[in-house]
Chains A and B, each alone.
Chain A
Amino acid sequence: MIATVGFYVFAVILLASATMVVTARNPVHSVLFLILAFFNAAALFLLAGAEFLALILVIVYVGAVAVLFLFVVMMLDVNFAEMREGLQRYAPVGLVVGLILLSELALVLGGWHFAPGAIELRMVPTPRGLTNTAALGAILYTRYILLFQIAGLILLVAMIGAIVLTLRDRRAVRRQTIAVQNARQPADTVAMVKVPLGAGISEIAVLNRPAPAEADPEAMHGGSHARLHAAERH
């Protein structure tokens, strides 16, 4: 009984928030409604006994994808009045696309029937004594391992493609090499100098022989200090 009530509550909220996604005036509100829709879909999965899928939906879509959506939408400088204008102009096109999709769905649904034994299988979605996760893993990593790996490769290619498209070689940026930074010793950078009265530090440094560190380009930034250090040792 509670499950039925739960189903209707979540389904109604899901549909309502899905409607709000396309009708909300503020795009940030749209994304937030989209997140609400994801949550309710996860709740429906839970009611169907698919706890693994429910939580993966929350982790992947709400925890990662929607964060990026929200990020982008918040950064955009959206002109609301202009968007209203666009709605008038693009409504016919959208309507046509929607109609085509709807008729395709109708065609698919018209020719669709349950596989033999599907109803019996739905009674026990996971084999007896196995948790949801174990059952999914047992089938995904054995019978469908090839498809699973191909799906992973496609995602990898998409990721590399995105990186290649956005990678720029910006020469002006000065980067810190952490290894070099960590390898610096106090002796390379700090020098204790006993300055005689009337003689400046620079004069001492010039008077003494150049430090061997000067030949080493790695230590260039510490060059003058190294020379001072040599002066002190002298």
Chain B
Amino acid sequence: MNFLFHTIAGGIILAFLKALALLVPLLIGVAYLTYAERKVLAAMQLRKGPNVVGTFGLLQPFADAIKLLMKETIIPAGANRLLFILAPILTFGLAILAWAVIPVNNGWANANINVGILYLFAISSLGVYGVIIAGWASNSKYAFLGALRSAAQMVSYEVAMGFVIVSVLLCAGSLNLNDIVLAQRNVWFFIPLFPMFVVFFISALAETNRSPFDLPEGESEIVAGFMVEYSSMPYALFFMGEYASMFLMSALMTILFLGGWLSPLPFAPFTWLPGPLWFLIKILLCLFVFLWVRATFPRYRYDQLMRLGWKVFLPLSLGWLVLTAGVLIATGWLPHVS
């Protein structure tokens, strides 16, 4: 044990093990999220869903993954080969990279940095590059149209999302994710900031290109958007990246609004469950709503999407930010940083 804690090489190995301890459950979670999505959608549409591969179809995600890996990787003749391959790697890598700062329990983060929330915001704003580069490098009109839509959509909703994050920061008084969760010991932020929670959730749907904002890959209009030309492993990476970023957005919502690893009430029957389990339960709850929304709402039209982002969410979140700041100043609740 001493070797792990007291030498540079040991430190590197320890960091690697810590990252692995987070990533392996995450990837298994991503695999089973695809399964959960199909099962939930099936239940909501009175179908059975996957039930053939393994007991209750539990091996279905692995069957899908192996099938995709066995396929040929096709690179279109007119494509920019390097960028074509780089785009899915970038998308998936970014979705994984963001998990470095997520605290699973008090102090349990791979990197407990001071500006954790800014890091997450930066990483999620980079997600658009994977899509744009894929759309351009494919040298196909459908892919390019999908990429353009996606870029406009992600940039628009990021603005509202930024204001929501700022109003949470005002209440928490810190950019550190651990401190933001600890600031919710008395009351989780989704209660005082409920409208912002709703805005954040809908923006998260748009950021992850999920239904009803899945215009970038709207299969009835532009085939599959920026992913048209992809097959096999690169396609699987895009797919996994999308689900990993759903996980990430749910984790972010849990940390910002739902009190992270904190139990709903700070006494006995609730505190028996360990913190990471509460964290997981809250994430799964958010993910269920993601799937529920997909089964419920039809796709937005492009102009409606832009209107919602710029004309509704932006003024709303900006106004609420001013209101939050005013209330905090007037009541003297503004958390003071030493």
List residues of chain A with CB under 8 Å of any chain B CB: 28, 32, 35, 51-52, 55-56, 58-59, 62-64, 67, 70-71, 74, 129-134, 176, 178
List residues of chain B with CB under 8 Å of any chain A CB: 80, 83, 113-115, 118-119, 121-122, 125-126, 128-129, 132-133, 136, 144, 148, 151, 155, 158, 175, 303-304, 307, 337-338
CB–CB A71/B125 < 8 A: no
Cβ-defined partner of A59 (8 Å) among B122, B303, B338: B122
Q: Which 3 A-B pairs have the closest CB atoms?
A: A63-B125, A55-B118, A58-B122
Contacts of B129 in A (CB 8 A): 35, 67, 70
Cα(A176)–Cα(B303), bound, Å? 9
Cβ-defined partner of A62 (8 Å) among B114, B126, B144, B304: B126
Contacts of A131 in B (CB 8 A): 114, 175, 337
Cβ-defined partner of A132 (8 Å) among B115, B136, B144: B115
30 CB contacts below 8 A, A to B, read A28-B80, A32-B133, A51-B114, A52-B118, A55-B118, A55-B119, A56-B118, A58-B122, A59-B118, A59-B122, A59-B125, A63-B121, A63-B122, A63-B126, A63-B128, A64-B125, A64-B158, A67-B129, A67-B132, A70-B132, A71-B132, A74-B132, A129-B338, A130-B337, A131-B337, A132-B114, A132-B115, A133-B115, A133-B175, A134-B337
Cα(A134)–Cα(B337), bound, Å? 7
CB–CB B136/A64 < 8 A: no
Cβ-defined partner of A71 (8 Å) among B80, B126, B151, B158: B151
Cα(A178)–Cα(B312), bound, Å? 11
Kindly provide the distance from the CB of B78 to the nearest chain A CB, expressed in whole angstroms: 14
CB–CB A51/B126 < 8 A: no
Nearest B residue (CB) for A70:
B132
Cα(A52)–Cα(B133), bound, Å? 28
Contacts of B119 in A (CB 8 A): 55
Kindly provide the distance from the CB of A19 to the nearest chain B CB, expressed in whole angstroms: 19
Kindly provide the distance from the CB of A18 to the nearest chain B CB, expressed in whole angstroms: 19
Contacts of A134 in B (CB 8 A): 337
Kindly provide the distance from the CB of A54 to the nearest chain B CB, expressed in whole angstroms: 8
* Interface of chain B, main secondary structure: helix
CB–CB B136/A74 < 8 A: yes
Contacts of A130 in B (CB 8 A): 337-338
Say whether, besides A51-B113, A51-B114, A63 and B132 are in contact (CB < 8 Å): no
Say whether, besides A67-B155, A71-B151, A133 and B122 are in contact (CB < 8 Å): no
Contacts of A63 in B (CB 8 A): 121-122, 125-126, 128, 158
Cα(A1)–Cα(B135), bound, Å? 42
Contacts of B114 in A (CB 8 A): 51, 131-133
CB–CB B136/A28 < 8 A: yes
Nearest A residue (CB) for B338:
A129
A32-B133, A67-B132, A178-B307 known; 13 new pairs, CB 8 Å cut-off, are A51-B113, A51-B114, A59-B121, A59-B122, A59-B125, A62-B125, A63-B125, A64-B155, A64-B158, A67-B129, A133-B114, A134-B337, A176-B304
CB–CB A52/B125 < 8 A: no
Contacts of A64 in B (CB 8 A): 125, 155, 158
Cα(A132)–Cα(B119), bound, Å? 14
Contacts of B136 in A (CB 8 A): 28, 74
Contacts of B128 in A (CB 8 A): 63, 67
Kindly provide the distance from the CB of A164 to the nearest chain B CB, expressed in whole angstroms: 17
Kindly provide the distance from the CB of A212 to the nearest chain B CB, expressed in whole angstroms: 31
Kindly provide the distance from the CB of A127 to the nearest chain B CB, expressed in whole angstroms: 11
